[in-house]
Amino acid sequence: MIELEKLVTKTDRITAMARRKNALRLHLGEPDFPVPSYVKEEIIGFFKESIEKGYTRYTDPRGIRELREVLSEKLHRKNKIDAGPSQIVVTAGGTAALSLIFRLIAANDYVAIPDPAWFAYPSIIRVAEAKIVRIPENSYNYETLSKITEELRKKEGELKAIVVNSPSNPTGYVYSREELREIIDFAEDYSVFVISDEVYEDYPLTREPISVASINSEKVFSVYSMSKTYGLTGLRIGYLVAPNKELARKITIMQLHTYVCPTSMAQYIALRCIEEKIEEKLLPIWLKEIKTNISLTRKRLSEENIEWKEPMGGIYAWIGLPSIDSWIFARELLEKKLVSVAVGEDFGPRWKSYIRILLAVSNEKYSEGFSRILEFYKEIKEKH
Given the complex with a copy of itself, which of 274 and 301 has the nearer CB atom? 274
Helix (H, G, I), strand (E, B), or coil: what is residue 168? Answer: coil
Residue pair 174/310 in contact (Cβ under 8 Å)? The answer is no
Q: Do 143 and 122 form a contact (C-beta atoms < 8 A)?
A: no
**Minimal distance, residue 200 CB to a copy of itself, in Å:** 16
Out of 70, 256, 287, 306, the residue judged to bind a copy of itself by CB under 8 A: 256
264 touches a copy of itself by CB under 8 A: yes
Residue ranges with strand state E in 303-363 = 316-320, 339-340, 342-343, 354-358
Of 166, 175, 234, 177, nearest to 202 by C-alpha is: 166
Instruction: State which residue, 266 or 333, has the beta carbon closest to a copy of itself.
Output: 266
Q: Does 17 bind a copy of itself (CB under 8 A)?
A: no
The answer for residues whose C-beta is within 8 angstroms of residue 94's C-beta and 6 or more apart is 197, 199, 223, 224, 225, 227, 228, 238
Taking the least distance from each CB to a copy of itself, the nearer of 17 and 256 is: 256
Pairwise CA distance, residues 161 & 110, whole Å: 7
Min CB(189)–a copy of itself separation in Å:
22
Among 258, 288, 291, 336, binds a copy of itself (CB under 8 A): 258
Strands 238-241 and 88-91, how do they pair? antiparallel
Among 173-181, 246-254, 345-353, 357-365, the segment contacting a copy of itself (CB under 8 A)? 246-254
Angle at the Cα of 113 from the Cα atoms of 243 and 341, rounded to 5 degrees: 125
Binding of a copy of itself by 270 (CB under 8 A):
no
Nearer to a copy of itself, 95 or 297 (CB): 95
Does residue 47 interact with a copy of itself by CB under 8 A? yes
Is 362 one of the binding residues for a copy of itself (CB under 8 A)?
no
- 229 with 223: CB under 8 angstroms? no
Residue 240 belongs to what H/E stretch? strand 238-241
From the list 67, 101, 235, 343, which residue makes contact with a copy of itself (rule: CB under 8 A)?
235
Element (H, E) at 71: helix 65-74
Torsion of CA 313, 315, 320, 326, to 10 degrees: -150
β-bridge partners, 382: none
E strand intervals along 51-100: 88-91
**Nearest Cα to 97, choosing from 247, 251, 256?**
251
Applying CB under 8 A, among 18, 205, 232, 240 the residue interacting with a copy of itself is 232
Give DSSP secondary structure letters for 19-42: HHHT-EE---SS--PPPPHHHHHH
Q: Which residues in the 277-316 window bind a copy of itself by CB under 8 A?
A: none
Which of 62, 68, 126, 356 touches a copy of itself (CB under 8 A)?
A: 126
**Shortest Cβ distance from residue 56 to a copy of itself (Å)?**
5
Asked whether position 250 contacts a copy of itself by CB under 8 A, the answer is yes
User: Is residue 93 part of the contact set for a copy of itself (CB under 8 A)?
Assistant: yes
Kindly state whether residue 151 participates in binding a copy of itself, applying the rule CB under 8 A.
no
Task: Pick the binder of a copy of itself from 209, 231, 243, 313 (CB under 8 A).
Answer: 231
Using the rule CB under 8 A, give the single segment among 38-46, 182-190, 336-344, 345-353 that binds a copy of itself: 38-46
Q: For the CB of residue 61, give the shortest distance to a copy of itself in the complex, in Å.
A: 9
In the complex, the residues that contact a copy of itself under the rule CB under 8 A are 1, 4-5, 7-8, 30, 35, 40, 43-44, 47-48, 51-52, 55-59, 91-93, 95-96, 99, 104, 107, 120, 123-124, 126-127, 129, 231-236, 250, 253-254, 256-266
